[in-house]
Amino acid sequence: MTMSQFNSAERLGRSGQVVAKCLDEGRPAFVGYYSVGYPHVDNSIEAMRAIVEGDEGRGADIIEIGMPYSDPLMDGLVIQRANTRALSRGVRTKDIFTAAEAVASLGAMPMVMTYWNVIEAYGVDAFARDLAAAGGGGAITPDLPADDCAEWFEATDAHGTDRIFLIAPSSTDERMKMTMAASRGWVYATSVMGVTGVRSQTSDAGRVVVERAREADPSIPVGIGLGVSGGDQAAEIGAYADLVIVGSALINCMTSDGTDMPYDLAALRKLSGEIAAGVERSRK
């Protein structure tokens, strides 16, 4: 896919236009996930900077800022541990807006990944408003059904923020088409059933779910997440997906022997650069 193959700038939104620009350059977009507040808020912003900067000028195009939540449905063990520690140290919803401002200042696109209760508790319209004001492109809401969110539609339309819904290998054709029609920016496709986490091999279901998504609605980019751990896997997935999403492998760079100190920003930059390089060679 390229920008010219997407037929609506409105469907692309702010974050989708970043993806389309990457595709016009001959590569998919690299999305790096990191939990705000881990090990502490300042450290997490340093980590996001390292993911954007990467190595040898290669890094992430989009940062998926994870909001720690006490009852996650999708997060694997690595992210759960990071989020538990962030919560114990008092991370607050407003910290994601601080992180978004920092990411935007680096020239990357900040997105937020959060569960619906966080948005609802903050105030739906206020959340979309403050995210837009911080330079955020939109939010990924893994537990929000695309057909049960009129208030979120209204708020995101009012403030020009993108709404990213999830599809899975188990999604019916009808459900997939509806979810994609409800999305703005891009669609998050999970390549395996289950929670996030590093995997030694990518799932064959990834290519299938992307193909099905494009058949259902070719007007919006499709990203793949869950399991990417290095440059080779990024190249494999980037050959067919519009976005390559990496999370647990990056957070692992900030974890040592089950603890969260000492963390290694050099290792984080190196891994981000390797993934970016894999994404670049995926279409060559």
**Phi, psi for residue 196 in degrees, rounded to 5:** -70, 165
- Quote the CA–CA distance of 162 and 181 in Å, as a whole number: 13
What residues pair up with 29 in beta bridges, in sequence order? 243
| Residue 10 bears catalytic tag | no
Do residues 38 and 69 touch, judged by C-beta distance below 8 A? no
Neighbours of 265 (CB within 10 A): 16
The tokens describing 208, both together, are: 């299938």
Residues 6 or more apart in contact with residue 174 via CB below 8 angstroms: none
Helices 124-133 and 94-105 sit at what angle, rounded to 10 degrees?
20
d(CA 56, CA 17): 25
- The closest of 46, 114, 54 to 275, measured between CA atoms, is 54
Nearest to residue 162, comparing CAs of 11, 52, 3? 11
Active-site residue identified among 53, 55, 61, 75: 75
- 25 classed as catalytic: no
- Inter-CA distances, 168 with 85, 147, 187, Å: 29, 16, 11
Q: Which of 53, 61, 64, 162 is catalytic?
A: 64
At CA 161, angle to CA 158 and CA 167, rounded to 5?
Answer: 120
The residues assigned a catalytic role are 64, 75
